[in-house]
């Protein structure tokens, strides 16, 4: 997602890779406004970051160059890149900082003000579009529920897994912007990943 001042609605995956390699320093290089690029990232322990690097960038991110996301601490850095501890911090910073770009879970970004999600290669960031096969948006991941062996049928763990696999649980999963694997469309998508 990007700060609303960026005003672009679509980037190619290659554009995003060039941004995160520091090759694009100003949004006007991509047809956007005359604003410097600010890369707002999660810390190295973030699962969100790992998915972004693997599924979108195809590699790691460039070195951190700013503590406050506004000023370069390293004058030789190509662009300003900062790392934050939480998704909420990323969303707040991207929303408040003109020229900022970051990444987060779709459901959280969709509720934030001052920023908007980008299409990637023309594909919308939409769970519905992904589920119905009208979007190949690459920044997504399957969440797994693990147990140590098969839980006893009368256990809380077994009840919870059953809940996730049935109507109400699937509704909760959808409410949070995720696609359950238990639907016919979800099974197909989950098998691809």
The full 3-state SS of the chain, as one line of letters, equals CEEHHHCCCEECHHHHHHHHCCCCCEHHHHCCCCCECEEEEECCCCHHHHHHHHHHHCCCCCCCCCCCCCCCCCCCCCCEEEEECCHHHHHHHHHHCCCEECCCCHHHHHHCCCEECCEECCECCCHHHHHCCCCCCCCCCCCCCCCCCCCCCCCHHHHHHHHHHCHHHHHHHHHCCCCCCCCHHHHHHHHHC
pLDDT above 80 (res 73):
yes
Query: Is 134 a member of any domain?
Result: no
Which of the listed residues 122, 152, 183 is the one where a domain comes to its end? 122
- Helix axes of 167-175 and 156-165: crossing angle, nearest 10 degrees: 70
Q: Is the pLDDT of residue 138 over 70?
A: no
Phi then psi for 137, rounded to 5 degrees? -50, 120
pLDDT at position 62? 82
Domain region containing 70: 2-122
pLDDT, average across residues 76-102: 95
Return d(Cα 123, Cα 126) in angstroms, integer: 9
Query: What pTM value is reported for the model?
Result: 0.77
Tokens (6 digits) for 176: 């949070």
* Mean pLDDT comparison of 70-79, 101-110, 174-183, highest-scoring range: 70-79
Whether 133 is in a domain gets the answer: no
Identify whether 13 is part of a domain: yes
For residues 118-125, average pLDDT = 80
Instruction: Tell me the average pLDDT across 119-141.
Output: 65
Write out the two tokens for 173. Answer: 């999963």
Residue 73 covered by a domain: yes
**Four-residue CA torsion sign, 52, 53, 54, 58:** positive
pLDDT attached to residue 56: 76
* % of the chain beyond a pLDDT of 90: 44
Please check whether residues 112 and 159 belong to one and the same domain: no
- Determine the pLDDT at residue 40: 95
Number of separate domains in the chain: 2
* Mean residue pLDDT across the chain: 83
- On whether both 50 and 113 belong to a single domain, the answer is yes
The answer to whether position 161 is within a domain reads yes
Using CA atoms, how far residue 58 sits from 100, 121, 123, 141, in Å, is 21, 16, 18, 14
Question: How many C-beta neighbours within 10 Å does residue 56 have?
Answer: 17
Please say if the pLDDT value at position 104 is more than 60: yes
- For residue 50, the domain's CATH number is 3.40.190.10
Q: How far apart are CA 104 and CA 1, in angstroms?
A: 8
């Amino acid at each position: 997602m990007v700060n609303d001042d960026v005003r672009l609605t679509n980037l190619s995956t290659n554009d995003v890779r060039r941004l995160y390699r520091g090759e694009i320093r100003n949004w006007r290089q991509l047809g956007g406004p005359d604003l410097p690029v600010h890369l707002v990232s999660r810390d190295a322990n973030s699962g969100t970051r790992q998915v972004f690097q693997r599924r979108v960038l195809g590699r790691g991110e460039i070195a951190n160059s700013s503590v406050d996301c506004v000023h370069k601490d390293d004058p030789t850095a190509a662009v300003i890149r900062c790392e934050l501890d939480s998704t909420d911090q990323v969303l707040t910073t991207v929303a408040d900082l003109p020229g900022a770009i970051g990444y987060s879970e779709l459901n959280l970004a969709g509720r934030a003000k001052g920023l908007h999600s980008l299409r990637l290669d023309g594909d919308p960031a939409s769970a519905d579009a992904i589920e119905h096969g009208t979007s190949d948006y690459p920044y997504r991941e399957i969440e797994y529920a693990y147990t140590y062996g098969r839980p006893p049928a009368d256990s809380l763990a077994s009840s919870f897994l059953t809940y996730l696999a049935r109507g109400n649980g699937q509704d909760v999963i959808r409410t949070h912007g995720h696609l359950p694997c238990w639907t016919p469309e979800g099974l197909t998508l989950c098998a691809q990943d």
